[in-house]
């Protein structure tokens, strides 16, 4: 690990308790974490994945997972709102032109953060896209409505998924303040309330040719590491929630919880069933942390092979590493999913009735975990892993794997 990478992990670790201090109030009042994003820019965290060839730290995914775990442990909303940015950076690196990489990586190094605009309501399937990019003179016009626009209100630029005149998916990169862009703070989910995941609308938005990146390999027969990398970051959210619930459970047992008379002890920390609950939360949280590390190493191996010889990225050896990364991340999604939900529930085995008061905000851990784990069905992660191990069937070519 380089000194720059160490500094980013240290910065996230230092920021984590600051995020935790305001997380309950932000959740209760639905205040977007603008200050947190300013701190992330200032620390250089948002530039973590800019490659060294373009002046960035070139942080590995193993290190980036550590960064995200500290952020999610402090406030899972902040970490989730940042994922579209890193997805955009990876999209630019994988499929952008040399000129686009030069342009947008410079923006990211200067502190610019991307927000997302992918998922929509309607359509037969969850992944259906109705937003259209149509030719207009030397450029294009963008028209559409996104129901989920995570991070957009906190960002400087937007990455919007659209369909071009040929029916192909593309990424459109544009400034947040461009004419015709409307962003609304109307996300009303029971959890992850401050991820800035509200509606975004695009009406006759002018788009230049160099602001469009075709999906290319993301939907072609050739498999890359990018989708598993994005899914890996999503897995850090539930794991961070589990670690945050563990922190709150320990603090409450030490300071707020009272033992029951039949326990035969004077302090809650000496109650064997409180100890059992804490041990259970800890096991779930740290199992999630461990499986994330393993999955991150698989993603790094696939990425290294991909860029070692880009002309051979479709060769069986590189493809096998990309498949291994996808399967490992699917396993991580399963374990972190279970850990986040279990920790949010088990906290109340420690806490007792008084901990259900809204002033403590302990319920947000389960609400956040349950909300985020609906992102894509974990049942299919089990199936993908099982089918691969039993039948050598690789995961589908999908942004969910």
> CA-CA distances (angstroms) from residue 137 to 100, 208, 209?
21, 10, 10
Structure tokens at 372: 């985020």
How does the average pLDDT of the chain come out, rounded?
94
pLDDT at position 55:
97
399 pLDDT band, cuts 50/70/90, is confident
pLDDT at position 312:
82
Quick one: average pLDDT of 302-330?
93
pLDDT at position 130:
95
Q: How far apart are alpha carbons 364 and 280 in whole angstroms? A: 19
Residue 22: CB atoms within 10 Å? 17
pLDDT at position 196:
95
Quick one: average pLDDT of 121-140?
91
Predicted confidence (pLDDT) at residue 361 exceeds the cutoff of 90: yes
The model carries a pTM of: 0.96
Q: Is 146 helix (H, G, I), strand (E, B) or coil?
A: strand
Structure tokens at 57: 């730290």
What b/e readout covers 40-79, taking b as 16+ CB neighbours within 10 angstroms?
Answer: bbebbbbbbbbeeebebbbbbbbbbbbbbbbbbbbbbbbb
Task: For residue range 53-105, list pLDDT tens digits in order.
Answer: 999 999 999 999 999 999 999 999 999 999 999 999 999 999 999 999 999 99
Predicted confidence (pLDDT) at residue 307 exceeds the cutoff of 80: yes
220 pLDDT band, cuts 50/70/90, is low
Structure tokens at 162: 């659209």
> CA-CA distances (angstroms) from residue 271 to 20, 80, 257, 274, 354?
27, 36, 10, 5, 17
The residues, any chain, with a CB within 8 Å of residue 381's CB and separated by 6 or more, are 330, 331, 333, 334, 337
Which residue, chain included where needed, has tokens 């952008």? 96
Give percent of the chain with pLDDT exceeding 70.
98
The rounded Cα 81 to chain-centroid distance in angstroms is 7
Task: For residue range 245-283, list pLDDT tens digits in order.
Answer: 999 999 999 997 888 889 889 899 999 999 999 999 999
Q: Is 242 helix (H, G, I), strand (E, B) or coil?
A: helix
pLDDT at position 1:
62
Quick one: average pLDDT of 193-209?
97
Asked if 336 contacts 235 with a C-beta cutoff of 8 angstroms, the reply is yes
* Domains assigned to the chain: 3-64+75-113 (1.10.540.10), 117-216 (2.40.110.10), 226-391 (1.20.140.10)
Predicted confidence (pLDDT) at residue 204 exceeds the cutoff of 70: yes
Give percent of the chain with pLDDT exceeding 90.
86
Q: To 10 degrees, what angle do helices 226-255 and 76-95 make?
A: 170
351 pLDDT band, cuts 50/70/90, is confident
Q: How far apart are alpha carbons 13 and 31 in whole angstroms? A: 22
Quick one: average pLDDT of 216-220?
64
Predicted confidence (pLDDT) at residue 214 exceeds the cutoff of 80: yes
pLDDT at position 126:
80
pLDDT at position 218:
62
């Amino acid at each position: 690990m380089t000194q720059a990478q160490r500094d980013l992990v240290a910065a996230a670790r230092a920021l984590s308790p600051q995020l935790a201090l305001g997380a309950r109030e932000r959740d209760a009042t639905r205040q977007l974490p603008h200050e947190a994003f300013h701190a992330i820019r200032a620390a250089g965290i948002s530039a973590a994945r800019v490659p060294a060839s373009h002046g960035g730290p070139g942080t590995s995914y193993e290190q980036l997972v550590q960064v995200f775990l500290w952020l999610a442990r402090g406030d899972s909303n902040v970490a989730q709102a940042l994922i579209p940015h890193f997805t955009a950076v990876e999209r630019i690196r994988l499929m952008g032109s040399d000129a686009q990489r030069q342009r947008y990586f410079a923006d990211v190094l200067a502190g610019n953060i991307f927000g997302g605009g992918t998922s929509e309501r309607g359509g037969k399937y969850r992944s259906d896209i109705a937003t259209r990019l149509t030719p207009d003179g030397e450029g294009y016009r963008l028209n559409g409505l996104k129901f989920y626009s995570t991070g957009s209100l906190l960002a400087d630029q937007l990455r919007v998924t659209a369909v071009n005149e040929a029916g192909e998916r593309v990424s459109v990169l544009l400034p947040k303040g461009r004419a015709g862009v409307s962003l609304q703070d109307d996300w009303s989910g029971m959890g992850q309330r401050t991820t800035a995941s509200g509606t975004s609308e695009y009406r006759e938005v002018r788009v230049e040719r160099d602001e469009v990146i075709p999906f290319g390999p993301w939907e072609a027969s050739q498999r890359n590491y990018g989708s598993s990398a994005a899914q890996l970051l999503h897995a850090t959210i539930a794991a961070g929630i589990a670690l945050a619930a563990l922190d709150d459970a320990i603090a409450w047992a030490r300071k707020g919880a009272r033992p029951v008379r039949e326990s035969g002890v004077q302090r809650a920390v000496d109650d064997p069933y409180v100890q059992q609950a804490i041990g259970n939360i800890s096991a779930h949280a740290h199992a999630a942390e461990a499986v994330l590390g393993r999955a991150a190493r698989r993603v790094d191996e696939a990425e290294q092979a991909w860029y070692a010889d880009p002309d051979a990225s479709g060769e069986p050896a590189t493809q096998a590493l990309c498949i291994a990364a996808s399967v490992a991340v699917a396993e991580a999604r399963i374990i972190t999913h279970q850990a986040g939900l279990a920790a949010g529930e088990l906290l109340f085995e420690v806490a007792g009735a008084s901990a259900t008061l809204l002033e403590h905000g302990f319920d947000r851990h389960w609400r956040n975990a349950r909300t985020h784990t609906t992102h894509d069905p974990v049942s299919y992660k089990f199936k993908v892993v099982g089918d691969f191990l039993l039948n050598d069937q690789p995961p589908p070519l999908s942004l969910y794997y």
